[in-house]
Structure 1
Amino acid sequence: MDTLTVVGCQFGDEGKGKVIDYLSKKYDITVRFNGGENAGHTVVIGGSTLKYHLVPAGFLQTHVSVIANGVVINLKRLVEEIDLLTKFRKDFDLKISNIAHIVTDLHFARDAFLEKLRGAEQIGTTLKGIGPAYESKFGRYGIRMIDFNDEKKVREKLQFMGKIYQLPVENEQADSLFSYYNKVSKYVTDTSSYLRSSLDDGRSALFETANGTFIDIEFGTYPFVTSSHTTTLGVTEGTGLSPKYFSKFMGVAKAYTTRVGEGQFPTEILGKEGDKLRLFGKEFGTTTGRPRRVGYLDIPMLRRAVKLNSLDFVALTKADILGQLDNIMVGVSYEENGTEFDEFDPNSKVDRVNYESFPSWKDNRRNLEKYTEFIEDELKVPVVLIGTGEERNQMEVRGDWST
């Protein structure tokens, strides 16, 4: 069977949407398996910029798009996205897991309450209700898509959730949920069974994660993380497929590093140089609009991502943006208490980052190739795609690689 799982190697916002959109035309099925509308995909087509959050990034080119069971769904947002994307594609086939959990207004309120309660220790959450939605899922009081077959059950669950959060629940909240659900109900199905039978029949599939490796709930910079499994380790749980169905793994890394929210960021660039890179790269969150923190490429971080995700390939994005700087630095190792180490540990403190310098490639394309070869030598994994612009077709394939 032909499958490829694509994950982010950093803190999210690596350009996975562009890579997945580019790759998806080669696959029969594209599958989103984690997160919610806290993630954002940006695809540029003929000068038109599309930004969406729940529908798989391969929606515009693949034959079938699947929102799997690991995703938490804001029904209102989903309806809006489908309405938007159908302006660009009419003949789509969308399938939504019947056991995916939904995000309610109560989750939004809970998210804002918890973030305010943290005070100076705020995480920097997107306030999209994602954490509370997973909280209710694992607390066994969440609402699943399949529950809408029983109106009484949904209303009772909302009331119970309101008691837990100590928030009032009006009938209109349930009415609104049913209104949006009815607009997408025709897409709801047992996606695990669909995927299993499709792959057994020889169809190909592209699996896409939301967010990045180092905001994974288990392996990220806890507590400054998201609430889902963002690595290749999450694809089995998020789809209901056993490990035997997953054959190849690709990591997407921005040519530099960015982060939204609080938490570790060893190679962060502050001051005017950081402002310049942020401006060049239009580094403002797709979901929040907040300015992203920016920094140099972090080899120890990528090294950890390669090992944790068992990556076979790496795609490098926004090389054109980084190339606008006159002098380019790359973090190659850390120091802590006088000891040098070369792999990122989300639970350790970095006292110092050691850098190597590279010349810009804005006037010499060969310098980008040297930069890429250095990354490959350090990671022991081939860089097979390089993003050289924001348009979907501005992607270079290196060597004779193909999916």
Structure 2
Amino acid sequence: MPVSVIFGGQFGSEGKGKVAHYFAKELKAKAVIRVGGPNSGHTVIKPNGEALVLKQLPTASILDNVYCIISSGSYINVDILLKEVLQTGIKDEFLYIDPFAVIITEEDILNESKNGLKESIGSTGSGIGSALSNRVNRMSSLRFAKDVEALSKYICNTKSMVRHFLLDNERIIIEGTQGFGLSLLHSDLYPYTTSRDTSAAAFVSEAGISPLDVDDVIMVIRTYPIRVGGNSGPLPKEINWEKVTNDSKSKFPLIEFTSVTNKVRRVAEFDAEVVKRAIEVNNPTKIVLNHCDYFDLSGNELLKSQLIISKVKEIENLINSRIGYLGLDRDSIVERNLYANNTIAKVLK
């Protein structure tokens, strides 16, 4: 059965939204399922060049005729979701929400503000941890999507819907959130983790799909891994954005802000250890390396392309795995072989 699962191999913000959008088009996906919740922002570039950050909807929501599904393993901030429906212009008939997706309440957000997690571990304070805790503790006050009138027109048994698509041999994509290095179950950095497991297997479970349906596991990593700003936990080989700017020979300062909290991201040089653990647990069939443009922003395209291929080979040797796709800027992804062949052609000229 044709299911692709997309997960992050570092600490989040690897560019999974861009990758999910790319493969939704490339694989002609019938539907994209978003799991997790609004503590993770996925960025996609609209046809007019505008960057759109989505915290609830899959990035494929800006595509025509792709069903967008929010699964029962999701956590919904209703105000954020309805705002994104307007921003994307998604038609009602292409958005479906499982009745047992959990609603994040104002009380959940307040609880996370009171418990000090923002200060102690760099939590986004989005209320997901509190809502998840209420779910695990089986609190009678827990609200589901089926209990919210504003969502009623989108409510659907998404498990049955997805199974119907799979029986018709349609491609389904699961858009995972955050990064494997933040997994509540598998990270060695506890308590500096998120409130859920962030492995490919967990995303399949949250989507309501059998592991036997999966034939494609896509790991997304980036050349310079990041963590959110503040006291968010260890980041091996941490540097600063000034060094990234200087090393890239950029003519303008490079700096990134988190899409949810708008804090300056912490940044580091590439470290293979968390990526190798992610490969060990998730066994990806495809690997995408984003932010390859950070290797050289001097403006010399021939030198840049040669340097990128050289750096990619270095990273492949470090992680003992082949990288199949390269993210070259904020919205482009290219197959590594096509990029390498193009580079060779330039040299032969």
User: TM-score per shorter chain, which class?
Assistant: 0.7 to 0.9
Q: Which amino acid aligns with 2:234?
A: Q
> Would you say 1:129 and 2:132 are equivalent positions?
no
Matching residue of 1:304: 277
Task: For 1:183, give the aligned amino acid.
Answer: A
Deviation at 1:183, TM superposition (A): 2.8
CA RMSD of aligned residues (A): 2.5
Which aligned pairs between 1:80-91 and structure 2 lie closer than 5 A?
A: 80-86=83-89, 89-90=90-91
In the TM superposition, residue 190 of structure 1 has moved relative to its aligned partner by 1.2
Report what 1:273 is aligned to: 243
CA distance in 2 between partners of 1:285 and 1:309 (Å): 26
Task: Name the residue aligned to 1:286.
Answer: 259
Deviation at 1:362, TM superposition (A): 7.8
Q: What's the CA shift string for 1:307-327, capped at 9, x where partnerless?
A: 1111111101111123238xx
Instruction: Kindly name which structure, 1 or 2, has the bigger radius of gyration based on alpha carbons.
Output: 1
Deviation at 1:281, TM superposition (A): 4.5
Give the unaligned 5+ runs of structure 2: 340-349
User: What SS class does the counterpart of residue 121 from structure 2 fall into?
Assistant: coil
Q: How does 1:290-369 map to 2 (within 5 A)?
A: 290-324=263-297, 363-369=303-309
**C-alpha separation in 1, matches of 2:171 and 2:127:** 33
Distance (Å, rounded) in 2 between the aligned partners of 1:230 and 1:63: 24
Q: Does 1:242 align with 2:210?
A: yes
1:301 positional shift: 1.7
Is contact 2:244-2:254 (8 Å) kept? no
AA paired with 1:145?
A
**What SS class does the counterpart of residue 226 from structure 1 fall into?**
coil
Partner of 2:334, secondary structure, is strand
Number of equivalenced pairs: 327
**Residue in structure 1 matched with residue 347 of structure 2 by the alignment:** none
Helix, strand or coil for the counterpart of 1:363?
Answer: helix
CA distance in 2, matches of 1:132, 1:241: 25
Alpha-carbon distance, 1:363 to partner: 3.1
**Shift of the alpha carbon at 1:383?**
1.4
Q: Does the CA-based 8 Å contact 2:2-2:171 persist in structure 1?
A: yes
Kindly provide the amino acid, as one letter, of the partner of residue 282 in structure 2: N
Matched-pair identity in %: 27
Asked if residue 372 in structure 1 is aligned to residue 312 in structure 2, the reply is yes
How far the C-alpha of 1:271 sits from its partner, in A, is: 7.8
Alignment map for 1:1-400 (pairs within 5 Å): 1-25=1-25, 26-33=28-35, 35-45=36-46, 46-61=48-63, 63-86=66-89, 89-90=90-91, 93-115=94-116, 122-141=120-139, 142-146=142-146, 148=147, 181-220=148-187, 221-261=189-229, 262-270=232-240, 272-273=242-243, 280-324=253-297, 363-390=303-330, 392=331, 394-399=332-337
Q: Residue deviations 1:222-281, cap 9 Å, x none?
A: 111111221112023202222101111011011111111511111111484267689855
CA pair 271-249 structure 1, distance change in 2 beyond 3 A: closer
Distance 2:268 2:302 in 1: 19
Letter in 2 for 1:245: D
Structure 1 residue 197: Cα displacement:
2.3
- Shift in Å at residue 83 of structure 1? 1.1
C-alpha displacement at 1:361, in angstroms? 8.0
Shift of 1:91: 7.4
Aligned residues of 2:41 and 2:53 also touching (Cα < 8 A): yes
Partners of 2:10 and 2:180 within 8 A in 1 = yes
Q: Hey, what's the Cα distance between the residues in 2 that align with 1:91 and 1:389?
A: 32
TM-score under structure 1 normalisation?
Answer: 0.76
Q: Give, in whole Å, the separation in 2 of the partners of 1:51 and 1:195.
A: 25
CA offset at residue 43 of structure 1?
1.3
Distance 1:275 1:140 in 2: 49
Contact 1:313 1:381 in 2 (8 A): no
The amino acid of 1:388's aligned partner reads L
Q: Which amino acid aligns with 2:223?
A: A
Q: CA deviation at 1:18?
A: 0.9
Is the contact made by 1:256 and 1:322 (CA closer than 8 Å) also made in structure 2? no
Q: Is the 8 A contact 1:63 1:92 kept in 2?
A: no
Distance 1:362 1:264 in 2: 36
**Superposed displacement of residue 191, structure 1:** 1.0
Deviations 1:20-68 (A, max 9, x none): 11111221111112x2110001112332111110001222226111111
Structure 2 Cα separation of the partners of residues 280 and 97 of structure 1: 43
Structure 1 residues 323 and 135: alpha-carbon distance in aligned structure 2, compared to 1, 3 A threshold: same
Q: Which runs of 5+ in 1 are unaligned?
A: 149-180, 326-359
Contact preservation (8 Å) 2:201, 2:211? no
Which whole-Å CA distance do the structure 2 matches of 1:59 and 1:248 have between them?
A: 21
